[in-house]
Every structure is written in C-alpha cells, then in structure tokens.
C-alpha cells in the first residue's frame, strides 16, 4: 500500500477474534483502496486459530497489535486507538469489504466540515451483493437514528425490514449514530469526549459514543458516496442469546448515561416496563432462555446502577446541547407497538 504524507493520515483499526476467512476478505479489499495515507492495525483479541500468522504472512503492511485478552469490540477499538496517531480513525468490522474510493470520500467530507466528528458510509449486504442485488445491511444501513425511548433504527432499516438501495439516501444527511461496522471519526473529537465504553463489550457502543459527541456540540453525518459491504451475522449470529443480552443491557445503560435528567425520569420507568413486556414476547417466540436473558440484562443495570450513574455524571459534564436540540422527529409510538405486539 502506497503511503503519502500529502493527505491526512487515516488509521483503520480492526478488532479480530478468530475467523481467517472473513478477515482475509476484509484485508484483500482494503489492499485495493485508493487513499494514499492509510495505516491498518489489527487488534488481536486473543485469537487462537492462526489468523494473525496468516495475516502477517499475506498482508505484511498490516500492523498487528496484540492484546492479552479478548477486549470485545469496544475495548479492542480503544486499544488500537491509543496505539495509533492519525488525524482520522476508522473502527472497522473484520467481516466487511469496501469500494476502492471509500476512504477518499470520507476524508473529503470531513475535511470540509470541522464540526463533523463522525461519518458513516453506506453499508450494504454482502450476501445480497453476491446475488446481484443492492440491499442495505442491518448494521447501520444508510445511517443510524434513534427514537425518543432510545430504540435505535436506521435509514434503510426499521426493525428487521431492509430496503433495497434505489438511491433514496444518496445525499449526506445528519444522523444520530454512525455504525461501528465502519465508523469514521475525527481523533481530536474523541480525545475530547472519550472513547468507547469498555463495559459495553459489543453492541451499541458506537451509539453511546456518538450520543456524547452530539451532546458536546459535534455533528454526525452519513456519506453515501463511501460504500462498505457487510457480512451480517458473521461474528455473532442475529438473535443469539448473547446478542439479545448485550443489546438489552447496553441500550438501558446508554439511556441512563446520556438522557437529560428530566426526560430520564419518565423514560426510564416506561422502558423498565417495556423490558418486562419484552420478556413475554421472547418467551412466546423463543422460549424461557431468551426471557431470562432479557431479565439478566435488566438486573445487570439495577445491580450496576452506581457505576453507570458515575459515568452519567461525567457524560453530562460534556453537555452543551439540550435533548430537544439533539432529537428531531421521533417514532416512539411505532416502536412501542412493535415491542408490545411483536
């Protein structure tokens, strides 16, 4: 990969835990990218299948950073961030592939707007691409949004419904969160508001981080000219008990940390009620294991409320914008209906 000091340096950080085949596809795709000042770092999260040895031999330009343990996606990204120094950073899933000019498009957008702290490329499904179709991927689609109760969704994806890419989101748009599948960020902004919360381990850590950026007056945008393909479910299968647990646990933690106190007073009791309702939904659809998973997520937040509240205090010190300024039109009642009736 040709390096140049004429363009801002971009560090691509890829946490990895086993699975050489998907990593091989990711690195082969990155080898074709056209931006002249990219440095790729693989964070070895305790890999045991020889992936890192293969990567070192086949892609010697990739820097390998070895962690003593599996830090998860959040911790792995933080580990890589602290050992790199580019003006921009991309937190990237190992099960992605990319159009050659995707980094150029992201850097070009960021360089024109200093208030933009994070960008999300258009994320399409690899499985659909392999069938000759253009369908948005579940993990972020055309850009992340959130409703008034804290339930995330995205342009091009609401719940499990994925739209075909017909050019309907081909204009850069202010969004609430940039997907951790391929999150482009300004290093200086992250140094101000902090990195991913390690306690999240995986899932929704990027929403929590983007929320802090918005609270501090930064902006988050989509950049549809940058295109990334994602192999949905390659790392942690959709609907697995672990994924359900992390999504419910982390979503509540995120709301407690970031919502303004007055709004939190009425949102949190409602969300607690909806969590209990969701246990009935999971029991009806999947059985008792999934119901208990949601209850464990709720209990974790109750048991760890002191620690989460301390993080909330630190987060609220960053606030320069009100919730009203951050939240635009929401679809709260649509979400409530879906949660209750499935």
Q: What is the pLDDT along the chain (342 residues), one digit of tens a residue?
A: 545 558 999 999 999 999 999 999 999 999 999 999 999 999 999 899 999 999 999 999 999 999 888 898 999 999 999 999 999 999 999 999 999 999 999 999 999 999 999 999 999 999 999 999 999 999 999 999 998 899 999 999 987 889 999 999 999 999 999 999 999 999 999 999 999 999 999 899 999 999 999 999 999 999 999 999 999 765 555 568 888 999 999 999 999 999 999 999 999 999 999 999 999 988 888 888 888 999 999 999 999 999 999 999 999 999 999 998 998 644 444 444 444 333
pLDDT, position 163: 95
The Cα 96–Cα 33 span in angstroms is 13
pLDDT, position 331: 44
Nearest to 66 by CA among 39, 89, 48, 85: 48
Residue 105, CB-side half-sphere exposure with 13 Å CA sphere:
21
The Cα 243–Cα 286 span in angstroms is 14
User: Domain residues of the chain, as ranges?
Assistant: 10-230, 241-341
Q: Exposure of 67 by Cβ count < 10 A (0-12 exposed, 13-18 middle, 19+ buried)?
A: middle
pLDDT, position 239: 64
Nearest to 44 by CA among 34, 56, 33: 56
Nearest to 46 by CA among 23, 25, 9, 15: 15
154, 254, 255, 257 from 300: Cα distances, Å = 27, 13, 14, 15
* 312 phi and psi angles, rounded to 5 deg: -60, -45
Quick one: tokens of 134? Answer: 């253009």
Distance of CA 258 to the CA centre of its chain: 16
Find the helix packing angle between 241-258 and 305-316, rounded to 10°.
Answer: 50
Contacts of 261-266 with CB under 8 Å at 24 or more apart are 261/316, 263/323
- 203 contact partners, CB below 8 Å, separation of at least 6: 73, 243, 246, 247, 250
Determine the CATH number of domain 10-230.
3.90.550.10
Task: Give, for 90, the enclosing helix (H) or strand (E).
Answer: strand 88-92
pLDDT, position 338: 45
pLDDT, position 232: 78
Is the separation of the CB atoms in 190 and 156 below 8 Å? no
Nearest to 43 by CA among 8, 68, 9: 68
């Amino acid at each position: 990969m040709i390096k140049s000091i004429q363009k801002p340096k971009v560090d691509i950080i890829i946490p990895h835990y086993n699975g050489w085949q998907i990593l091989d596809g990711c690195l082969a795709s990155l080898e074709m990218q056209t931006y002249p000042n990219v440095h790729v770092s693989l964070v070895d999260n305790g890999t045991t299948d020889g992936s890192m040895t293969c990567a070192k031999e086949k892609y010697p330009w990739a820097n390998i950073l070895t962690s003593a343990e599996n830090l998860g996606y959040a911790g792995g990204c933080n580990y890589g961030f602290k050992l790199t120094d580019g003006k921009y950073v991309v937190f990237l899933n190992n099960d992605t592939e990319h159009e050659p000019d995707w980094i150029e498009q992201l850097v070009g957008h960021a360089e024109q707007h200093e208030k933009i702290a994070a960008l999300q490329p258009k994320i399409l499904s690899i499985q659909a691409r392999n069938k000759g179709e253009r369908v948005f991927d579940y993990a972020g689609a055309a850009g992340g949004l959130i409703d008034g109760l804290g339930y995330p969704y995205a342009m091009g994806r609401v719940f499990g419904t994925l739209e075909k890419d017909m050019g309907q989101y081909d204009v850069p748009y202010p969004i609430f969160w940039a997907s951790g599948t391929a999150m482009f960020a300004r290093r200086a902004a992250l140094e101000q508001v902090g990195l991913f919360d390690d306690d999240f381990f995986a899932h929704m850590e990027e929403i929590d981080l983007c929320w802090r950026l918005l609270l501090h007056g930064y902006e988050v945008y989509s950049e549809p000219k940058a295109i990334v393909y994602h192999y949905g479910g390659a790392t942690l299968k959709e609907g697995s008990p672990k994924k359900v647990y992390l999504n419910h646990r982390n979503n509540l933690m995120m709301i407690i940390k970031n919502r303004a106190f007055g709004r939190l007073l009425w949102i949190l009791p409602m969300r607690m009620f909806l969590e209990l309702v969701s246990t009935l939904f999971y029991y009806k659809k999947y059985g008792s294991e999934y119901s208990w998973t949601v209850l464990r997520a709720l209990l974790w937040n109750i048991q760890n409320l002191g620690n989460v509240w301390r993080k909330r205090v630190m987060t609220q010190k960053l606030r320069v914008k009100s919730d009203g300024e951050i939240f635009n039109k929401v679809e709260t009642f649509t979400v409530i209906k879906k949660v209750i009736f499935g």
